[in-house]
């Protein structure tokens, strides 16, 4: 990296150099962190005035917002046609590696993607997540466009906050409103169905009708099917429609909307998928994607555990319905590293897919730490082990704790390989918030800043493998 004229102690990220009118700008790196450099102060930017008339700006949301006003290529945008891929970044330092992974592919990247739960755990905000993605794009000089996903939204307020900030993709998670109808007796099911104000209308819409789905055949609802689908999902549909209407009012120029029911107790059957989307359509909700809950187990941090043929059969049905009802994407919330699923997913979804990853980029960061500062890795592992009983609570995990290696017994040379061990990956994976919020997170960020080339290269290789298996490499 070169230094900037008149800027002692700062190096320039060469790819970031650009011009906006008569102003030169670049991302620079000092000993304490990164800054946005402007050759002349401009309205909207805040920073330290330099003796040459320039401005050195911290990487805040306010400065990111001012930047996208003068360089609109860095502004998040809607998803184009074709496959898309979400690169969640829990640390806020992964975007350059994500961009390198996505170069030479035909997949549209979502570079800002965090859920409300992730932000609560890491102590970040939607604003910070977006700013980190924007400055990451600037660092790489990436002008190919990206989306920003406010993931797993459970309240209208959160959705509107993200809309205000400039997010473009809103993932509505109505799972709190999904009723586990499988557990109800037929009598109770009937009682609840009869109590629905929309009962008559639903019977008119669905009873005695068949729905021809190209590539799948005919769908029809038995009385029991309809009662179950309606009792299970109707409140969730109403909630999603309410969020959609609130967003439509706030963003009249358009936005992308995903409905995710992937965190419900039971797999989403094709018939239920059809019912949910049909009901959304009747409420004039246009979706970009739906995340069904798939059969089998998509546990965090490890590969898929389940019958691939069952997965394939269900997926085929979901894709056929998605094509028949408007051509939205099937979204796979991977929970990291579902490598065995990818080729099947890509083949069956045939370009109509979205994949989300997030924890995987955190684990890649830990690989860099294990190689560069083994003692810090050991500390993080010890801490994650201690946190495990509490941090695992909101996840479905079958971790075998007896198989976990003791952190003290490990030599530095063994650490990188150790990260392939599934039980250990899960322990590390779920503790991310506890680590990143505390003093270890501070240390981790320092090391990643010092070895940022390592982190970008490791992300490029690891996420490149994801994209390779999805068949989107050129």
Half-sphere exposure of 135 (CA within 13 A, CB side): 27
Residue from 158, 262, 279, 314 in contact with Zn ion (CB under 5 A) = 262
Query: For Zn ion, which stretch binds (CB under 5 A), given 90-98, 174-182, 262-270, 431-439?
Result: 262-270
Which residues 6+ apart lie within 8 Å of 30 measured at CB?
A: 9, 10
Q: Yes or no: say if 125 and 114 are a contact pair by the CB < 8 Å rule.
A: no
Closest to Zn ion by CB, 158 vs 262, is 262
Closest to Zn ion by CB, 292 vs 441, is 292
d(CA 60, CA 37): 13
Burial class (CB within 10 angstroms; exposed 0-12, middle 13-18, buried 19+) of 363: middle
Q: Yes or no: say if 325 and 296 are a contact pair by the CB < 8 Å rule.
A: no
Least separation in angstroms between CB 165 and Zn ion: 21
d(CA 168, CA 456): 25
Least separation in angstroms between CB 334 and Zn ion: 9
d(CA 157, CA 161): 6
> What do you get for the CA distance between the two ends of the chain, in Å?
29
Closest to Zn ion by CB, 128 vs 262, is 262
Provide the token pair at 86: 């979400």
375 is catalytic: no
Report the alpha-carbon angle 447-121-154, nearest 5.
140
Provide the token pair at 388: 């495990």
Query: For Zn ion, which stretch binds (CB under 5 A), given 72-80, 86-94, 333-341, 374-382?
Result: 333-341
130-189 residues in contact with Zn ion (CB under 5 A) are none
Query: For Zn ion, which stretch binds (CB under 5 A), given 27-35, 71-79, 257-265, 303-311?
Result: 257-265
Closest to Zn ion by CB, 128 vs 151, is 151
Provide the token pair at 466: 């994801």
Residues that contact Zn ion, how many (by CB under 5 A): 2
314 is catalytic: no
Closest to Zn ion by CB, 329 vs 333, is 333
Query: For Zn ion, which stretch binds (CB under 5 A), given 37-45, 61-69, 260-268, 417-425?
Result: 260-268
Residue from 273, 293, 333, 387 in contact with Zn ion (CB under 5 A) = 333
Report the alpha-carbon angle 314-318-324, nearest 5.
145
Query: Which residue among the candidates 89, 128, 258, 379 is catalytic per the annotation?
Result: 258
Closest to Zn ion by CB, 140 vs 272, is 272
Least separation in angstroms between CB 163 and Zn ion: 20
Query: Which residue among the candidates 118, 151, 256, 454 is catalytic per the annotation?
Result: 151
Least separation in angstroms between CB 152 and Zn ion: 6
Closest to Zn ion by CB, 264 vs 384, is 264
Least separation in angstroms between CB 176 and Zn ion: 14
Q: Yes or no: say if 437 and 431 are a contact pair by the CB < 8 Å rule.
A: no
Is position 379 an interface residue for Zn ion (rule: CB under 5 A)? no
d(CA 309, CA 11): 53
Which residues 6+ apart lie within 8 Å of 259 measured at CB?
A: 171, 172, 174, 240, 276, 280, 287, 289, 290, 291
Least separation in angstroms between CB 188 and Zn ion: 29
- Residue 75, phi then psi, degrees to nearest 5: -85, 135
161-179 burial by CB neighbour count: b if 16+ within 10 A, else e?
Answer: bbbebbbbbbbbbbbebbb
Pairing of strands 11-12, 23-29: antiparallel
- Closest residue to Zn ion, based on beta-carbon distance: 333
Least separation in angstroms between CB 289 and Zn ion: 11
Active site residues: 151, 258
Q: Which residues bind Zn ion (CB under 5 A)?
A: 262, 333
């Amino acid at each position: 990296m070169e230094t900037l004229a008149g800027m002692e102690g700062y190096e320039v990220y060469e790819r970031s150099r650009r011009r906006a009118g008569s102003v030169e700008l670049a991302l620079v790196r000092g000993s304490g962190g990164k800054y946005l450099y402007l050759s002349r102060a401009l309205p909207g930017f805040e920073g330290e005035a330099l003796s040459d008339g320039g401005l050195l700006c911290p990487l805040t949301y306010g400065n990111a917002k001012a930047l996208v006003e003068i360089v609109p290529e860095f502004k998040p945008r809607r998803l184009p046609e074709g496959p898309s891929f979400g690169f969640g970044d829990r640390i806020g330092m992964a975007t350059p590696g994500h961009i390198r992974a996505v170069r030479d592919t035909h997949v549209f990247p979502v570079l800002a993607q965090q859920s409300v739960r992730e932000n609560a755990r890491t102590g970040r905000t939607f604003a910070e997540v977006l700013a980190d993605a924007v400055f990451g794009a600037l660092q790489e000089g990436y002008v190919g466009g990206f989306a920003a996903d406010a993931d797993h939204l459970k309240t209208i307020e959160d959705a509107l906050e993200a809309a205000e900030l400039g997010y473009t993709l809103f993932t509505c998670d109505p799972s709190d409103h999904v009723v586990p109808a499988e557990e109800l007796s037929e009598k109770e099911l009937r009682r609840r169905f009869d109590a629905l104000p929309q009962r008559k209308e639903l019977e008119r819409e669905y009873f005695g009708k068949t729905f021809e789905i190209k590539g799948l055949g005919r769908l029809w609802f038995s009385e029991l099917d309809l009662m179950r689908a309606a009792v299970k999902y109707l409140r969730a549909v109403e909630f999603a429609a309410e969020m959609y209407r609130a967003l439509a009012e706030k963003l009249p120029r358009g936005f992308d909307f995903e409905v995710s029911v992937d965190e419900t107790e039971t797999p989403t059957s094709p018939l239920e998928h059809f019912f949910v989307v049909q009901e959304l359509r009747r409420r004039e909700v246009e979706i970009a994607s739906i995340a069904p809950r798939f059969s089998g187990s998509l546990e965090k941090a490890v590969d898929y555990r389940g019958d691939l043929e069952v997965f394939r059969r269900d997926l085929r049905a979901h894709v056929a319905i998605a094509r028949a009802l408007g051509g939205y994407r099937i979204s796979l919330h991977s929970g990291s590293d579902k490598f065995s699923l990818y080729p099947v997913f890509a083949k069956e979804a045939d370009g109509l897919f979205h994949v989300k990853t997030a924890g995987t980029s955190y684990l890649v960061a830990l690989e860099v730490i294990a190689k560069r500062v083994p003692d810090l890795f050991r500390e993080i592992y010890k801490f994650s082990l201690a946190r495990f009983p509490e941090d695992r609570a909101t996840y479905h995990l079958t971790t075998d704790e007896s198989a976990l290696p003791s952190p003290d017994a490990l030599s530095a040379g063994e650490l990188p390989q150790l990260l392939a061990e599934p039980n250990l990956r899960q322990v590390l994976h779920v503790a991310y918030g506890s680590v990143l919020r505390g003093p270890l997170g501070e240390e981790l960020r320092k090391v990643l800043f010092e070895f940022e080339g390592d982190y970008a290269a490791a992300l490029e290789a690891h996420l490149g493998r994801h994209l390779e298996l999805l068949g989107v490499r050129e």
